[in-house]
């Protein structure tokens, strides 16, 4: 990486989720005070889900907030593996009087159609395709969103969203934000928990570009990890 992100080592996965919820909640409140829209791309996974559950308790109007998905599995919206279902069951589970706008991936069963349509929606609604916040998870192999090591999607430079086929992690068909879009976000926060993430996180922070997270370079602003995932810990 050309710049080292801020790294917060916290006690456990719950503390990591709370840190994420607080960081995002502060930015939502600031945007509300300033009267501007806020575009947030969310991640799947257990720790991002817990962060979303905590964010559901944040008071006040979210009418200025637009929620997007950093990636989506090409399954029906009500499928247990659909990220949009996770967002609805966590962040949107409460009865907020002025809820956010959730931008769902259309036609998710067909990756190319889904990517094209979601890319059009981002170009229409997200100024200059620059998100205010992107929340990222990380797999034990160092992938983030659905950006996997050695996959051709890593080479995409113009499209904001790309179809993924033959994903090394099931389900094999997905859509994902592309590297240039993730890099360009105003604030990018990576969550990593569990000892199985330690090796990949250490490599990413050392700039090993065989790890997809490392390809974010100085586009990664902050890392929040638990003690088990922290390089040099344990």
Task: Looking at the chain, list the stretches that DSSP marks H as alpha helix, in order from N- to C-terminal side.
Answer: 13-34, 46-55, 83-89, 111-125, 179-184, 198-205
Each residue of 4-62: pLDDT tens digit?
A: 799 999 999 999 999 999 999 999 999 999 999 999 999 999 999 999 999 999 888 99
Whole-model pTM? 0.95
Look at strands 188-192 and 174-177 and give their pairing.
unpaired
How many domains is the chain built from?
A: 1
Q: CA 134 to CA 2: how far, in whole Å?
A: 19
Q: 63: Cβ–Cβ under 8 A, 6 or more apart, which residues?
A: 98, 99, 100
**Residue 128 domain-assigned (yes or no):** yes
Show the domain range for 114.
Answer: 6-226
Each residue of 172-187: pLDDT tens digit?
A: 999 999 999 999 999 9
**Residue 1 domain-assigned (yes or no):** no
Using alpha carbons, select from 41, 5, 29 the residue that is nearest to residue 135. Answer: 41
**Residue 44 domain-assigned (yes or no):** yes
Residue 1's pLDDT band (boundaries 50, 70, 90)?
Answer: very low
- Give the containing element (helix H, strand E) for 164: strand 161-164
**Residue 50 domain-assigned (yes or no):** yes
Instruction: Kindly report the CATH number assigned to the domain that includes residue 116.
Output: 3.40.50.1360
Each residue of 57-80: pLDDT tens digit?
A: 988 899 999 999 999 999 999 999
Task: Identify the pLDDT of residue 213.
Answer: 96
**Residue 175 domain-assigned (yes or no):** yes
Tell me if 178 sits within 8 A of 156, measured CB to CB.
Answer: yes
Distances, alpha carbon 222 to alpha carbons 12, 21, 26, 27, 186, in Å = 17, 14, 15, 14, 11
Each residue of 112-170: pLDDT tens digit?
A: 999 999 999 999 999 999 999 999 999 999 999 999 999 999 999 999 999 999 999 99
**Residue 233 domain-assigned (yes or no):** no
Is the pLDDT reported for residue 214 higher than 90? yes
**Residue 58 domain-assigned (yes or no):** yes
Task: Name the token pair of 73.
Answer: 């599995």
**Residue 52 domain-assigned (yes or no):** yes
């Amino acid at each position: 990486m050309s710049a080292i992100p801020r790294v917060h080592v916290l006690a456990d996965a719950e503390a990591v989720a709370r840190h994420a919820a607080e960081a995002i909640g502060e930015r939502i409140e600031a945007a509300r005070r300033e009267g501007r829209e806020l575009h947030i791309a969310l991640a799947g996974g257990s720790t991002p889900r817990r962060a979303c559950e905590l964010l559901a308790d944040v008071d006040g109007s979210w009418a200025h907030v637009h929620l997007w998905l950093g990636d989506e599995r090409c399954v029906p919206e009500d499928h247990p593996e659909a990220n949009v279902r996770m967002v609805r069951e966590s962040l949107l589970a409460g009865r907020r009087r002025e809820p956010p706008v959730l931008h769902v991936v259309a036609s998710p069963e067909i990756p190319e159609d889904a990517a094209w349509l979601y890319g059009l929606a981002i170009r229409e609604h997200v100024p200059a395709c620059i998100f205010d916040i992107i929340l990222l998870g990380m797999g034990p192999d160092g992938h983030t969103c659905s950006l996997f090591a050695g996959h051709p999607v890593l080479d995409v430079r113009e499209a904001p969203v790309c179809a993924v086929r033959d994903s090394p992690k099931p389900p094999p068909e997905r859509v994902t934000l592309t590297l240039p879009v993730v890099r360009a976000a105003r604030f990018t926060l990576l969550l990593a928990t569990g000892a199985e993430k330690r090796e990949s996180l250490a490599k990413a922070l050392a700039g090993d570009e065989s790890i997809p997270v490392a390809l974010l370079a100085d586009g990664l602003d902050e890392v929040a990890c638990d003690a088990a995932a922290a390089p040099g810990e344990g």
